Amino acid sequence: MNIYISGKTDIGIERANNEDAFSFCSDLNKSNWDVPTSNGYIKNGKLGSISIVADGMGGANAGEMASSIAIESLKSDLVPSLLSEVIDSDEKIKNYLSRIILNANDAILKHIESDPDTIGMGTTIVLIWILNEKAYIGWCGDSRCYVFNPKQGLKCLSKDHSYVQELIDKGEITVKQSFNHPDSSIITRCLGDCDTSAEPEILVYEIRKHDQFLLCSDGLCGYCNDRIIEKTFYKEYLNVDKCCNAMIDLALKTGGQDNISVINISTIDDNELEIPYSLKDKIKRFLNSLF
């Protein structure tokens, strides 16, 4: 399998500082963090690739600090010597991802203990580890992981840990109503909460031909519904960098009320370095039917 990773963050229009953070490693065997795959698709190595988005909270520099601590903690655990011990089974990988997310939570709590002025800071987290034709997704909070495929459309793989999601699950409100709900900003799980234990969720997804993944903070998905995100994918799917930029622009056009961070990860088969023209034609026909 070959991958292409593109990431971008924007402070938005209304915020004074950016509390989001993101990082990615296209080849975990080499630990080459945040090196863009701008020269084209690269071979997904024996330890795979990983991408992470964190959405900090707490105001001033606290949220920015929490997201940064979480990212750095995860990176310290995502080293070849440790990863090579768990890649032989799905269960080991799931347990490992859960453990290192909890390690990131502990790192934030230790910082709060050493600096009580930062009490109240925290961060959401979402990550995706692509390895051996599978995607291992872990999250805590309301930052999301989507998968897009030109044949099946867009699907959200993660499920928000939030108050409005609980209301949706109970049937008390609809997804559409959740966007304007007065409590839409309340999350029920995060890293760094002194009163509630962090409980990450982990799932395994079998990668399909031409799947493209999107990690994002709620600066995108909290203001742009899934249908609009899907339309943007159909328009820009064939250019990963352009698609990533389009997601940022989409959020800014809604008002840019929050920080926005996105990572796009495109996958293609080893024997296919270009999407076939037949598929391009299908996408074009679909677009013509939409607009």
Per-domain residue ranges of the chain? 2-290
Residue 60: pLDDT band (50, 70, 90) is: low
Given a cut of 50, whether residue 173 has pLDDT beyond it is yes
Concatenated DSSP letters of 170-198: HTSS-HHHHTT-TTTT-BS--BS-SSS--
Q: What does DSSP assign to residue 278?
A: H
β-sheet with 134-140: strand ranges across: 20-25, 49-57, 122-131, 134-140, 201-206
Query: Which residues lie below 8 Å from residue 183, measured CB to CB, with a gap of 6+?
Result: 163, 164
- In this structure, are residues 217 and 124 in contact, taking their beta carbons and an 8 Å threshold? yes
Query: For 199-238, how does the pLDDT look when each residue is reduced to its tens digit (9 = 90+)?
Result: 999 999 999 999 999 999 999 999 999 999 999 999 998 8
- 184-205 as b/e: b if 16+ CB within 10 A: beebbbbbbbeeeebebbbeeb
Task: For residue 207, give both structure tokens.
Answer: 């990668």
Query: For 158-172, how does the pLDDT look when each residue is reduced to its tens digit (9 = 90+)?
Result: 999 999 999 999 999
Task: Give the homologous superfamily in CATH for domain 2-290.
Answer: PPM-type phosphatase domain (3.60.40.10)
Query: For 92-140, how does the pLDDT look when each residue is reduced to its tens digit (9 = 90+)?
Result: 999 999 999 999 999 999 999 999 889 889 999 999 999 999 999 999 9
β-sheet with 2-10: strand ranges across: 42-43, 2-10, 260-268, 212-216, 144-149, 153-156
User: What's the pLDDT at 141?
Assistant: 96
